[in-house]
Amino acid sequence: MEERNKTLGEFIIENQKAFQYSSGELSRIINSIRLAAKVVNYKVNQAGLVDIIGAAGEQNIQGEDQQKLDVYANEVFIQTLINREIVCGIASEENDDFITVQGSDNSHNNKYVILMDPLDGSSNIDVNVSVGTIFSVFRRITPIGTPVTSEDFLQPGINQVAAGYVIYGTSTMLVYTTGHGVNGFTLNPAIGTFYLSHPNMKFPENGNIYSVNEGNYVHFPQGVKNYIKYCQREEEDRPYTSRYIGSLVADFHRNMIKGGVYIYPTSSKAPKGKLRLLYECNPMAFIAEQAGGKATDGFGRIMEIQPTELHQRVPFFCGSKNMVEKAEEFMAEVE
Would you list which residues are annotated within the binding site for Mg(2+)?
Answer: 93, 117, 119-120, 280
Could you list the residues known to form a binding site for substrate, using ranges. Answer: 120-123, 213, 244, 274
C-alpha torsion 163→185→71→28, nearest 10: -60
Q: Which residues of 220-249 are buried (b: 16+ CB within 10 A; e: fewer)?
A: bbebbbbbbebbeeeeeeeebeebbbebbb
The radius of gyration of the chain from alpha carbons, rounded to an integer in Å, stands at 19
C-alpha 235/C-alpha 218 separation (Å) is: 24
Could you list the residues known to form a binding site, using ranges. Answer: 93, 117, 119-123, 213, 244, 274, 280
- Spell out the SS3 assignment of 32-74: HHHHHHHHHHHHHHHCCCCCCCCEEEEECCCCCEEEHHHHHHH
Instruction: Sort residue 199 into left (φ over 0), alpha (ψ -120 to 50) or beta.
Output: beta
C-alpha 220/C-alpha 271 separation (Å) is: 10
Contact 171, 188 (CB under 8 A): no
Contact 139, 19 (CB under 8 A): no
Contact 183, 196 (CB under 8 A): yes
> Does residue 239 have a cis bond before it (omega within 30 degrees)?
yes
Contact 277, 297 (CB under 8 A): no
